[in-house]
């Protein structure tokens, strides 16, 4: 199945292009807003040299207005509903909104700033309202329902049938079968949840930035490599000090190496408590309200809880299935953890550490256990994993061997941040078919974690080629130093590029990509 575009791209986090942010041109003017026309760059890649922060809101508002008109036209078509006059135009609707939202999502996730965060929080309920206007549209649902009822006797191809099933389920899950009063309540809650989700994202990002551990002296960083210490001291906002930035995990990468227990404890606690300090970035009230509203929404939709509603289109299907899986996993996982904890405590005791194992000790001593048992040391392996070599000689090499794909760096295409690289992809017949953006280094204005998504989606219906990106949060080295990454980082690179392959490889015509003989 190839769903061309999701109808609503929720704005998740926010970012900025590196150009002309304070320009005052009226971005609602079609001659000045770059989103109002398709990009003329390769495969409609965005021209980041022309995009300003001020362009997003007017483009999104115009995109919402255009898609609403398209939806009204589909819903009010007097002709009998068919796949061609209902689902095809539904798939094609919202072209402008998708164009701007895809770029907005990229930037908001990878390079945020306060201006765009404000746009995110302002637009979130408006996007939720558009989503409701589509999937709670009674006239449109009657058409989709009619097409779905006739699916068994239709002559549609399997992909088209799957699309009908997808949309029917999406309408039902959204509440299309509810009464007017129930839908009105649902719309209000959806708007509130959209706003709260945007606020949570921004709170968490700010909390992670503020949670960085500031170290005054080099001695407190004992155990870290010279390269890691140099990178930690490379923050221009803290000259003469060292900054250990937080990643989205509780266990931070330096905990594997820091031998100063007080530094380990401070770093762990900064991470663990980052969003529970009672300040503006404290997420607890936001989370509680999101949970409360989700429970109310689930009840309106006829489910006992949010999980029961949300799992309908997932593999597990029911909370009971999830619980059964966890019940089977927990005993083995906890037994393994207790066994590892005993081994680690034994090492601490042999070294006359004089303390009981705590969470912030785990990674350091687990590395020592691994070294003793298997002669493996993460720091000794890192020199073999220089980021660019992993990308070229690992990730890309594997794609070439498995699918015949080759890569060419495109230094002529503009990027949104100086560390980003762009590569053009070619099939085994040397035919170009997509672009890949990779953004690997951590920044304080980047969301935590690692992910893949699209700037432009592959679509035979729209005639578009895939423009895809991977974002990660690896530690950036000091200037002139190699970017040495861990084994876990290597697996993350391969994992995220695996998602990228899902977007790149054609659904049909897969015979183009065959493993070379």
Please list the pLDDT of the chain residue by residue as tens digits (517 residues): 333 333 333 333 333 333 334 444 456 666 789 999 999 999 999 999 999 999 999 999 999 999 999 999 999 999 999 999 999 999 999 999 999 999 999 999 999 999 999 999 999 999 999 999 999 999 999 999 999 999 999 999 999 999 999 999 999 999 999 999 999 999 999 999 999 999 999 999 999 999 999 999 999 999 999 999 999 998 888 999 999 999 988 999 999 999 999 999 999 999 999 999 999 999 999 999 999 999 999 999 999 999 999 999 999 999 999 999 999 999 999 999 999 999 999 999 999 999 999 999 999 999 999 999 998 888 888 999 999 999 999 999 999 999 999 999 999 999 999 999 999 999 999 999 999 999 999 999 999 999 999 999 999 999 999 999 999 999 999 989 999 999 999 999 999 999 999 999 984 444 444 544 4
Sheet of 432-441: strands edge to edge? 406-409, 421-426, 432-441, 467-474, 451-456
Q: Are strands 467-474 and 432-441 parallel, antiparallel or unpaired?
A: parallel
CATH no. for residue 388?
A: 3.40.390.10
Q: Are strands 406-409 and 421-426 parallel, antiparallel or unpaired?
A: antiparallel
Q: What is the pLDDT of residue 26?
A: 59
The set of long-range contacts for 67-70, using a CB threshold of 8 Å and a minimum separation of 24, is: 67/7, 67/93, 67/94, 67/96, 67/97, 67/130, 67/134, 68/130, 68/133, 70/94
The gap from C-alpha 13 to its chain's centroid, in whole angstroms, comes to 10
Q: What is the pLDDT of residue 23?
A: 41
**Alpha carbon distance 194, 188 (integer Å):** 10
Domain presence at residue 43: no
Q: What is the pLDDT of residue 89?
A: 98
- The pair of structure tokens assigned to 390 is 């992993």
Q: What is the pLDDT of residue 511?
A: 45
Domain presence at residue 376: no
Domain presence at residue 362: no
Domain closes at, from 251, 272, 293: 272
**Alpha carbon distance 206, 331 (integer Å):** 37
Can you list the alpha helix ranges (DSSP code H) found in 239-377?
A: 261-272, 284-300, 306-310, 319-350, 359-374
Closest by Cα among 507, 497, 439 to 473: 439
Domain presence at residue 363: no
Domain presence at residue 430: yes
Q: What is the pLDDT of residue 506?
A: 80
Q: How many domains does the chain have?
A: 2
Domain closes at, from 230, 252, 272: 272
Q: What is the pLDDT of residue 235?
A: 87
Q: What is the pLDDT of residue 378?
A: 83
Tell me, yes or no, if 496 is annotated catalytic.
yes
Domain presence at residue 428: yes
Domain presence at residue 20: no
**Alpha carbon distance 187, 135 (integer Å):** 11
Residue-number span of the structural domain to which 244 is assigned: 212-272
Q: Are strands 432-441 and 451-456 parallel, antiparallel or unpaired?
A: unpaired
Name 432's bridge partners.
426
Domain closes at, from 272, 289, 307: 272
- The pair of structure tokens assigned to 477 is 């080295």
Domain presence at residue 113: no
């Amino acid at each position: 199945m190839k769903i061309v575009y999701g109808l609503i791209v929720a704005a998740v986090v926010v970012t900025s292009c590196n150009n002309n942010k304070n320009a005052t041109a009226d971005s609602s003017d079609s001659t000045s807003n770059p989103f109002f026309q398709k990009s003329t760059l390769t495969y409609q890649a965005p021209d980041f040299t022309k995009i300003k922060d001020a362009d997003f809101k007017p483009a999104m508002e115009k995109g919402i207005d255009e898609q609403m008109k398209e939806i009204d036209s589909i819903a009010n078509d007097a002709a009998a509903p068919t796949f061609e006059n209902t689902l095809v135009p539904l798939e094609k609707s919202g072209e402008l909104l998708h164009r701007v939202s895809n770029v907005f999502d990229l930037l908001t996730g990878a390079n945020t700033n306060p201006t765009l965060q404000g746009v995110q929080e302002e637009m979130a309920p408006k996007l939720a309202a558009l989503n409701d206007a589509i999937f709670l549209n009674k006239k449109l649902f009657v058409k989709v329902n009619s097409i779905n009822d006739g699916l068994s006797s239709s002559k549609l191809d399997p992909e088209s049938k799957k699309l009908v099933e997808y949309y029917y389920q999406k309408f039902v899950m959204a509440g299309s079968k509810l009464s007017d009063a129930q839908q009105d309540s649902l719309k209000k809650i959806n708007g509130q949840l959209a706003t709260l989700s945007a606020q949570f994202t921004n709170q968490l990002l700010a909390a992670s930035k503020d949670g960085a551990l500031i170290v005054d002296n080099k001695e407190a960083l004992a155990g870290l490599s010279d390269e890691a210490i140099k990178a930690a001291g490379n923050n221009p906002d803290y000259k003469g000090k060292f900054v250990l930035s937080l990643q989205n995990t509780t266990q931070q990468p330096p905990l594997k190496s820091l031998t100063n227990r007080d530094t380990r404890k401070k770093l762990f606690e900064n991470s663990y408590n980052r969003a529970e300090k009672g300040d503006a970035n404290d997420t607890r009230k936001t989370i509680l309200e999101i949970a409360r509203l989700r429970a109310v929404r689930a009840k309106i939709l006829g489910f006992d809880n949010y999980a029961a509603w949300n799992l309908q289109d997932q593999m597990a299907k029911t909370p009971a299935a999830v619980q059964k899986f966890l019940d089977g996993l927990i005993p083995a996982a906890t037994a393994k953890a207790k066994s590892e904890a005993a081994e680690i405590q034994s090492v601490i005791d042999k070294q006359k550490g004089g303390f009981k194992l705590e969470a912030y000790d785990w990674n350091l001593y687990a590395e020592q256990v691994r070294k003793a048992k298997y002669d493996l040391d993460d720091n000794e392996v890192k020199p073999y994993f220089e980021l660019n070599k992993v990308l070229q000689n690992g990730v890309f090499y594997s794609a070439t061997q498995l699918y015949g794909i080759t890569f060419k760096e495109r230094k002529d295409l503009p990027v949104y941040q100086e560390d980003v690289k762009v590569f053009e992809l070619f099939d085994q017949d040397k035919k170009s078919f997509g672009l890949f953006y990779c953004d690997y280094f951590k920044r304080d204005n980047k969301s935590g974690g690692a992910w893949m998504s699209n700037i432009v989606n592959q679509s035979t219906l729209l005639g578009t080629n895939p423009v895809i990106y991977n974002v990660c949060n690896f530690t950036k080295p000091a200037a002139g130093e190699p970017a040495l990454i861990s084994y876990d980082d290597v697996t993350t690179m391969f994992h995220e590029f695996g998602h990228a392959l899902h977007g790149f490889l054609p659904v049909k015509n897969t015979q183009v990509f065959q493993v070379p003989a």
